[in-house]
Chains A and B, each alone.
Chain A
């Protein structure tokens, strides 16, 4: 999972912009625009060493660890917990943690968040999975998105409070929801009114990644048809799911994200059981007519989802959450405070369109 460039261990000092005389070797492959070819062993006057900052950042990040908060939303029985377990290859879901496997559908929506510390190749991550049992399961699902919106805004609020504190911590604990995975039931026809309503409201406050759950129920033609229908409906309703078009920073981003946008929603199958297939042990589901391999892209698109969420776009997701969604919330909140003050002073208000709850 190392994403940093190749770094030569000899440049391990943390001092910045030091003209270091390379005694052993020089490498023109060191990244950065300053990579000048050294003229040989000896003093290199053109090399400053700014690119060493990358290594410093990397070490610091590794020491600090990363935080990731993922929320899973969907009707019960769509495989949310299984997918979480599959994504992080460990039992991180609520069901695996709670001793009493709760099979009954709760009467109201609850929000349960479970945190785990996982580590890989020296990189530590604090993963929080926020589950929403009871969503969309009642007979009357009116306003079932309210508790979820409230939770997300509460996390923003908590962060805001910490930020505007006079004595604030060096590192504010980040409990903001970075990404919300929405599970669409594999009807094969179109989005349900509930799906449209929820995604419409929540795409404004959080990054939504829609996925087609239990995709092993659709043949390839049905899957393509369903995806096209979903993309049309999302467009028609003005729902901006991650990766959002307006946040593409440059042409390269746009190219990569366009490719992703053509594939969403990902049709996923989750499994935490291993089977022998062709002499290899793979995660999969075994049925009487064949074994579905979870990580085989010919079978399902789980691998794409995992790459998106973890291997390539994780930092981007967090950045968008903190720099865009959180900032919108912050501006709104601070303006609300201002209008309160303005009222008291008799000054004309300056409204900001409030997002509907």
Chain B
């Protein structure tokens, strides 16, 4: 164990452990937490229309982000450059990736393309500013990261090096975002032409001092070899395709020509697999880190420096422009308080409304009940009267019946009397 020097110049020896402590498990914990949280990645694609950007995105992530129902930007003719974003959630092996694709239809398509990069620069700066503001808040629990982490720039396969538009665009954006230049529609070129073109492009990039995304150096032998392989083949020449074709019994993704099938995943045909591996499998985290540590920090320092510069220059109260943490806190507290007040007011209003409603409802039901009571009373009285009537009738009938009985009785008596009289008579 050689002693290693740290920044402070203190020699530290990595100590040998006597037994198994267990912090070797830390990566697993991070892994599990990350998987639970899910990942985010924002990818921007820039290039003239008709270069196969939509097809490539579909091939890279094996999804149909652009489909016949929602066609890619090339199918829509735009008069000015617009910046659109589409989100898709991809899941694989339990890991979630929220992928945001930022598209730039209309780039380089009109006759006069001066400043066609401006909307793109504005978009990227906008995202940085949003993140800066979110970061400067006092309460920053939810901080969504929508900064553009990688920009794939599609170069037309002219075979003649970079166009003025390519140079201008990359010069203006290489300090704001990771640029990965790609040669689009690489099946246009034979292998020799492709080599020559790549050399021309790299030369142009060096000449104009454009800083494209650099792969990080690592100590690992294997990784270094892989990185070197990638570096040798920059810029990557890609073909995109989502149609599956049978070649010698194998099913491959490719493009069918009368003279053969160009296989997208064949390393000899194009560099698609290298791009996919690099972008997704190995360097995604590094792209995010570089965006965060380099591009975002550049933006932040430039923005804050500009602000403080203005503050020092002005004779007005500095507190207006510079925001010291205390002032920030005060403001936030005030914001918070006013927000609370507003919420309170709103709640009271809502409460009142609800009370009124309830009251109204109760009154209504009361009236209803009253009505019903009246009704029932009426019913009751009607029944009562009916009953009275019936009773009277009954009484009358009874009287009549009794009267009749009395008459009958009387008759019976009379009859019996006459009978007796007759009986008496008969005896004499």
Contacts and interface: CB of A to CB of B under 8 A. Distances in A.
A137 B113 CA distance: 11
A197 interface: yes
A140 interface: yes
B130 interface: no
A288 interface: yes
Interface in B75-89: 75, 77
Interface stretch (B62-70, B251-259, B308-316, B387-395): B251-259
A292 B259 contact: yes
B164 interface: yes
Interface in A265-311: 285-293, 298-299
A293 B188 contact: no
Contacts of A140: 111-114
Nearest to B113: A139
Interface string B298-328: 0000000000000000000000000000000
B119 interface: no
Contacts of B256: 219
Nearest to B263: A289
Interface in B51-103: 51, 74-75, 77
A287 B50 contact: no
Nearest to A221: B256
A189 B74 contact: yes
Given A75-B158, A192-B109, A286 B190 contact: yes
A193 interface: yes
The interface residues of chain B, by DSSP majority, are classed as: loop
B127 interface: no
A143 B368 CA distance: 83
A119 B160 CA distance: 32
A356 interface: no
B195 interface: no
B176 interface: no
B262 interface: yes
A326 to B, nearest CB: 29
A125 B192 CA distance: 34
B235 interface: no
A217 B77 CA distance: 22
B426 to A, nearest CB: 141
B210 to A, nearest CB: 16
Contact of A219 (B114, B168, B255): B255
A77 B258 contact: no
A217 B188 contact: yes
Contact of A289 (B110, B113, B269): B269
Given A288-B191, A289-B269, A219 B257 contact: yes
B260 A139 contact: no
The range of chain B's interface size is 35 or more
A139 B257 contact: no
B160 A289 contact: no
B200 A287 contact: no
B271 interface: no
Given A139-B165, A188-B50, A217-B187, A105 B160 contact: yes
A216 interface: yes
Contacts of A194: 111
B163 A105 contact: yes
A220 B258 contact: yes
A216 B112 contact: no
B86 to A, nearest CB: 19
The range of chain A's interface size is 35 or more
Q: Which of A141, A285, A289, A293 neighbours the largest number of chain B CB atoms within 10 Å of its CB?
A: A289
Given A103-B200, A185-B156, A193 B259 contact: no
Nearest to A141: B111
Contacts of A299: 257-259
B152 interface: no
A203 interface: no
Given A285-B190, A287-B191, A288-B269, A139 B160 contact: no
Given A189-B50, A219-B256, A285-B190, A139 B114 contact: yes
B220 interface: no
A141 B112 contact: yes
A140 B74 CA distance: 21
B42 interface: no
Interface in B103-146: 109-114, 116
B158 A78 contact: yes
B268 A105 contact: no
Given A76-B160, A139-B164, A289-B261, A216 B113 contact: no
Contact of B259 (A75, A188, A197, A290): A290
Nearest to B74: A189
B185 interface: yes
Contacts of B50: 185-189
B258 A298 contact: yes
Contacts of A188: 50
A190 interface: yes
A74 to B, nearest CB: 10
B49 interface: yes
A120 interface: no
A176 interface: no
Contact of A77 (B74, B159, B269): B159
Nearest to A297: B258
A193 B156 contact: no
B187 A141 contact: no
Nearest to B256: A219
A94 interface: no
22 contacts: A76-B160, A76-B163, A77-B160, A103-B161, A105-B164, A139-B116, A139-B168, A185-B50, A187-B49, A187-B74, A188-B50, A192-B49, A193-B109, A214-B157, A217-B187, A219-B255, A219-B257, A287-B191, A289-B261, A289-B262, A293-B259, A299-B258
Interface of A: 75-78, 103-105, 137-142, 144, 185-190, 192-194, 197, 214, 216-217, 219-220, 285-293, 298-299
Closest 9 CB pairs of A and B: A77-B158, A187-B50, A290-B260, A290-B259, A289-B260, A77-B160, A217-B188, A140-B112, A189-B50
Interface of B: 48-51, 74-75, 77, 109-114, 116, 156-161, 163-165, 168, 185, 187-191, 200, 255-263, 266, 268-269
